[in-house]
Amino acid sequence: MADTTRNTGQTRGAPPAQPRTEPRTGQRWKVVPAPQQPRHARRMDPRTTLAIRAGRLAAATSQRLGLGSGGMIGGRLALTLQPDLLQRLATGRRVVMVTGTNGKTTTTQMVAEALRAQAPAVSNATGANMLDGHVAALMTRMDAPNAALEVDELHLAQVTERFTPSAILLLNLSRDQLDRVGEVRTVAASLQRALVQAPSTPVIANRDDPNIVYAAEGHPRVVWIAGGVRWKDDALNCPRCGAFLGDVTTDWRCGCGLARPAAAWTVTETGVLGPDGTHHDLALALPGHVNRINATFALAAALELGGEEASALARVRLVDSAAGRYDTVRVNGRSVRLLLAKNPASWLEMLDLVRSSDDPLVLVVNSREADGYDVSWLWDIDFEVLRGREVAVAGDRALDLAVRLRYAQVHATVASTVEVALGGTDGGVPDVIANYTAFRDLLTRSKR
């Protein structure tokens, strides 16, 4: 009989629920308690109360003045007034942490929706994914027993130092903002340290990414997801010993012992094959194979925490955008679809979405602090798939992008702004693929 053990997660120091075995069938099971009101929602000391009130006021003021969502400033002020506020707010809650290079925001939103099938949940939906953003999200609704929080890859260890999450999702690792983050192996080592600090936490991880396997291999509670690997350039060498792995699309194994583990969940062309061998059609509102992978992580997390599959999946299917990603908005009077691509791996996925379309295409690249100043990664992207299409380019590094497209034999028109680029296109709903700050600025100027 399949192991149907579920775990709710717990705050540091709380004993995990013990599995029991049904004597007649041999099936293992756990009693999963219903979500309870967080303890801090019932009683807080004056300093914590002051920190939360001040943080909420700062966030509201930022929103009122049009300076942003307030997610960072509110959380930062609250943490300054009460340095251990994060662990106080997490106590008594089921907190799912989602990290990886790509897909964090979308997966976090899916996890939040899946958890809401059980009980209210909060989330850092704006993408403020460091400690101040986590505090800001957790204090938005003090009585919500569930939380889904996106976390920057290099900050997961800071989270697990402070409290034990109920589940950790490890999506993928690839090069991104090398001048800020560093090499992929540095990030993998940081994730490994974070997991050592949370040995009782269920980890849901991508078995097809050698860097993720390296980070999670020693953890005692891993649920492996198989979604396939498309971006291979950061996974060709063993992250443990450096040996060449070769074809990582198959059951790879390194001489040092690191190997692709068996999967509990396998993503297919239409849905997902679950641990019990049952195939489930996902029928998502969001396009592409990458979002089937994201949805599988969310579904696995919900079931790991005792959720009911049908209700969790029904809520995940309703997600049709995430912090503006995939949204259709109005820009300068024109309806456009916004797509975010911030590194070679995510550009690969977004170009795959638009390559067979005849709709106008605008590519936008900046190189500000939040993007990383180095844009040499443009040469790692297979822009050749756009040959035969007319493309417009804009952004701070439009000329660099135009040069790259010229070598890819893609005809590109350089525009001073996205609005000017759109003015030179006719027909259809244009797709606009933009990296981080270009996407953020465009979303701010647009109308839904």
3-class state of residue 81 by DSSP = helix
Tokens of 89: 């707010």
Q: Are 169 and 99 in contact (CB under 8 A)?
A: yes
Tell whether 397 is in a known binding site.
no
Q: Are 104 and 176 in contact (CB under 8 A)?
A: no
179 is catalytic: no
Burial class (CB in 10 A: 0-12, 13-18, 19+), 400: middle
Tokens of 91: 């106590």
Q: What is the residue-wise DSSP string for 172-199?
A: ------TTTT--HHHHHHHHHHHHHT-T
Catalytic residue among 84, 281, 374, 382: 374
Q: Please state, in angstroms and as integers, the Cα–Cα distance from residue 347 to each residue in 3, 221, 327, 443, following that order.
A: 39, 32, 17, 18
| β-bridge pairing 222-226 and 28-29 | unpaired
Which residues, other chains included, contact 164 with Cβ-Cβ below 8 Å and sequence gap of 6+?
A: 9, 10, 11, 12, 198, 200, 201
DSSP letter assigned to residue 361: E
In angstroms, rounded to a whole number, what is the distance separating the alpha carbons of residues 321 and 343?
A: 20
> In terms of Cα–Cα distance, which of 334, 293, 335 is closest to 316?
293
With residue 419 as reference, give the H or E element that holds it.
Answer: helix 418-423
Tell whether 446 is in a known binding site.
no
3-class state of residue 44 by DSSP = coil
Tell whether 91 is in a known binding site.
no
Tell whether 63 is in a known binding site.
no
| Rg, Å, the chain Cα set | 22
CA 346, distance to chain mean position in Å, is 12
In angstroms, rounded to a whole number, what is the distance separating the alpha carbons of residues 232 and 247?
A: 9
Q: Are 293 and 227 in contact (CB under 8 A)?
A: yes
Q: Which residues are annotated as a binding site?
A: 238, 241, 254, 256
Q: Which residues are annotated as a binding site for Zn(2+)?
A: 238, 241, 254, 256
Tell me the catalytic residues.
374
